[in-house]
Structure 1
Amino acid sequence: MASSSELAPGTAVDAVVDGPRYVAIITDGNGRWARQRGLAAVRGHEAGADVVKERLRDAVSFGIRELTVYSFSTENWSRSRAEVAGLMRMFSRRIDIETPELKAEGVRLRFIGRRSAPVSARLIEKMRWAEAETAANERITFYVAFNYGGRAEILDAARNFNGGDEAEFRRHLYAPEMHDPDLIIRTSGEQRISNFLTWQGAYSEFVFRDELWPDFTREAFADSLAQYAQRQRRFGGR
């Protein structure tokens, strides 16, 4: 991570008044961003991953306690073999490089999704290592939805659910401790949830942005949070 945007431990600046504390983002548009520039898709994903790092730091300064990003879905395996292979190499490399930085900056890293084939055993082991390395951190929790699908999560939870209420069912989700997101942001102009946080997002507010994900700036992030602050959440009431 670039040191120019590092924050001293414990700092929290520019927090949006009445802003969300739990935010999720569908980081859409990396491939289109690359195509517009005549680049291979993986270059777009690399640019997108750089922006994730920057916006994670912004999330800390905005007072966000949990940030979840949609990294790779259960449906993304249908993409070309070259793109998928490039993505897997990128994930592996970035876990190696960025985990020590996240640990130093007080970020707790958690992966949510299926940890089984076709994800390699080696990559799964790296994910477990990264989680263990950052488990004691409390500054912000950074959830990465990898090999994730909202329906898959519900199905996997249902297999282990023996009855009870919603609180009991939640205990079987990939990250039972995760708070339901106050706000879900989607970039690239698309207006759908694409099988993301199907259970947790039942009462989330949504902001849809036109920017492709690599073009999603700190200012765009702040504007999205400000839009949320203008909403009145009723949760089915009046």
Structure 2
Amino acid sequence: MLDGRYQSVLEAGNRAVFTSELEHFTKAMGFDNFSAMTVVDHSLGRSDFINVDNCPSGFRAATDSPQLAQRDPVMQHCKRQSVPIVWDQQTYVRSNAAELWEAQARFGYRTGIALALHLPEGRHFVLGMERSAALPSNTTELTRLVADLQLFAVHAADSALRVLLPPDQQIDRPHLTPRELEALRWTMDGKTAWEVGTILSISERTAVLHLSNAMRKLNCNNKHQAVLKAMRLGLIR
């Protein structure tokens, strides 16, 4: 079974629930604010941006502009790379953008962690957590925070694409048979093919066949990817 934090955001059914799950995770991680952005690239260089955050009043008006984003070292890092960035005042000073840090620091954005997932079909998901208190000086503790954010972002990205994008930009949902869905549900609970067969009163070979068919229809290389994709598409819960 997935950790409850990741399971909850993966099962978010609408924007309000999705936003609530992001905020709950942010607070549990010891941060004050979060910002999430889903980007869909189109032809001719046009992109759609969908933002979800819990920014304090006045923050957007003071910091949100294309010109500032082009100079923001955190945004530029996320635009080009998939590895997380741990940032603080010195990150901005080194990029000759100290005034940008000062502008956001007034709202409590003094340090944080951010990352971007660059997905197929011109889709991107950027997630950051920010706070006013310094990040842990202990390397092990900081690494744990980064790893937790990375894993959470993978699940949050799946939900963002499902609940935030308009219908015409949604990924088509393949048709799976009831048996294939049952096999995936039990696999989600950690059952082996032999156990799935026993539960469904079918042979292990037949259980493997159902899982293989589900993987093929979902265009996945293994059963774990198939489970995650089926959950993202809302085929199983």
Q: Between the two structures, name the one with larger relative contact order (CA 8 Å, sep ≥ 6).
A: 1
Higher Cα Rg: structure 1 or 2? 2
TM-score, with normalisation over the residues of structure 1? 0.26
Larger proportion of helix: 2
